[in-house]
Amino acid sequence: MGKLAGKTALITGASSGLGERFAEILSAEGASVALAARRTDRLEALKSRIEAKGGQAISVKLDVTDLPGIKAAVAEVEARLGKIDILVNNSGVSAQKKLLDVTEEDYDFTMDTNTKGAFFVAQAAAASMVKQGIQGRIVNIASVAGLRVLSQLSTYCMSKAAVVQMTKAMALEWARYGINTNAICPGYIETEINREYWATEGGKKLMQMLPRRRVGEPKDLDGLLLLLCADESRFINGAIITADDGLAIT
């Protein structure tokens, strides 16, 4: 029996990268996991891997920029798993451009997913928790980019800074319902999406500028995620926690 036995966790952006890892680690601690993303083929493969290890998982198609779709996805999780105890609000996108080159489409692409989508997913999950009397846990995945400006990622930085403030507002307003809302701000984490970049000259140069000349792995967030999702975090609310190997203080 793991720390999260009897809990149900909804993880957005679960089809790859951090979201995939989050789903696996929460399942390993006993949670039933609802895997949400647009790429349902990837979700089904992850679902099969989790079930092969004895876990319970369902896949739910979700585009966080589709607001009616968010409500439908939450309703589906409730119908199939009964409740939502934990939300890991992980969906996110990025576009690397100089500010003078950012188009309206670029701006909307980033903000609609990272900020607007994240807000309405959290709102829908919180509404479910309140309705069912669940003293839940919401973990918003922000970024160190929400705390400092990264070159040519200014729109992304803006979107994640909004998530940081959003987290604090949610923590304050939803505390009365027993819901704890916190944010993890990862630094540079190597995933399948950026793995090739770290082997390039630009990637190697950037790595040499980092405090310990290395990037993280998804598993480096396991302990922090589990703490924020577990009952032991009952006195942690509104925290913005960096997991960046010291990048934010450089």
Does any domain span residue 1? no
Does any domain span residue 3? no
Does any domain span residue 2? no
Reported confidence tier of residue 208, pLDDT bands at 50, 70, 90: very high
Residue 156 known to be catalytic: yes
158-173 tens-digit pLDDT:
999 999 999 999 999 9
H or E element: which one contains 110? helix 104-111
Question: pTM score, two decimals?
Answer: 0.95
Reported confidence tier of residue 40, pLDDT bands at 50, 70, 90: very high
Burial class (CB in 10 A: 0-12, 13-18, 19+), 181: buried
Does any domain span residue 181? yes
| Total tally of structural domains belonging to the chain | 1
Q: From the candidates 107, 156, 177, 197, give the one annotated as an active-site residue.
A: 156
Domain with 171, as residue range(s), is 8-249
Does any domain span residue 245? yes
Does any domain span residue 42? yes
CA 62 to chain centre: 14
Does any domain span residue 158? yes
- Domain at 41, CATH number: 3.40.50.720
Does any domain span residue 236? yes
Helix, strand and coil content of the chain, in percent to the nearest 5, comes to 50, 15, 35
Least confident of 13-22, 63-72, 190-199: 190-199
CA 81 to chain centre: 20
**Predicted confidence (pLDDT) at residue 1 exceeds the cutoff of 80:** no
